A and B are shown apart, each in its own frame.
Chain A
Amino acid sequence: SAVISQKPSRDICQRGTSLTIQCQVDSQVTMMFWYRQQPGQSLTLIATANQGSEATYESGFVIDKFPISRPNLTFSTLTVSNMSPEDSSIYLCSVEGINYGYTFGSGTRLTVV
């Protein structure tokens, strides 16, 4: 399965600022997925990032708040913009394998104060 390097692993940010999360995959993948997991909760898909096109956002998530870049087939970033305490969460990137499910990055634990 793919190996994903995600950083930062955690951060504490001031409200109103932005944080960019990076994910690097050790192989080329068509789609990368960004999830949010609030404490003790399930995973919610934010958006799907395809190389060379705009990301597709799920209901409740907008590009202005969560801009995504996908400059090549091994890398993607998610920015959490104009943060508020409600954005405190774990953010995870993932890729889909063939016959072995999704592989997740180790996650970014974000606290907004």
Chain B
Amino acid sequence: GQQVMQIPQYQHVQEGEDFTTYCNSSTTLSNIQWYKQRPGGHPVFLIQLVKSGEVKKQKRLTFQFGEAKKNSSLHITATQTTDVGTYFCAGQMNSGYSTLTFGKGTMLLVSP
């Protein structure tokens, strides 16, 4: 079945440092989505990437979708303590078939 690998599992940075998490799928994806889960909270949708090579930005967050539509990354510039949480990528194989496969997530800790 479809597998979505995500690294690193955990990263601890100082406030102001950059952070990147990487996601790799065993199969070509229709789209990839990113979610953030704060400690004790539930996953919250951040963004969806659909096109090959797509790059999207949300303030300090930059999301990329690979040319082959099998890998993706999330980069946070100049982290803040509010960025703390676990970031999950989730791949969808077919846009008309809605099951998402989640990566294991990257837990980000930011020290002030």
CA distance A41 to B104 in the complex (A): 6
Q: In the bound complex, how far is the Cα of B35 from the Cα of A97, in angstroms?
A: 14
Residues A104 and B42 in contact in the complex (CB < 8 Å), given A48-B99, A99-B48: yes
Residues of A within 8 Å of B48, CB to CB, are 99-101
Please judge, given known A-B contacts A31-B98, A41-B104, A43-B102, whether A101 and B33 are in contact too, CB under 8 Å: yes
Q: B66 contacts the other chain (Cβ, under 8 Å)?
A: no
How many of chain A's residues have a CB under 8 angstroms from any CB in B?
A: 22
Which residues of chain A have a CB within 8 Å of any CB of chain B? 1, 31, 33, 41-45, 48, 59, 92, 96-97, 99-107
**What are 24 A-B pairs with beta-carbon distances under 8 A?**
A1-B45, A31-B98, A33-B98, A42-B88, A43-B43, A43-B102, A45-B99, A48-B98, A59-B1, A92-B42, A92-B43, A99-B48, A100-B45, A101-B33, A101-B35, A101-B45, A102-B33, A103-B45, A104-B42, A104-B44, A105-B42, A106-B41, A106-B42, A107-B42
Hey, which bits of chain B sit against chain A, CB under 8 A?
Answer: 1, 33, 35, 41-48, 88, 90, 98-105
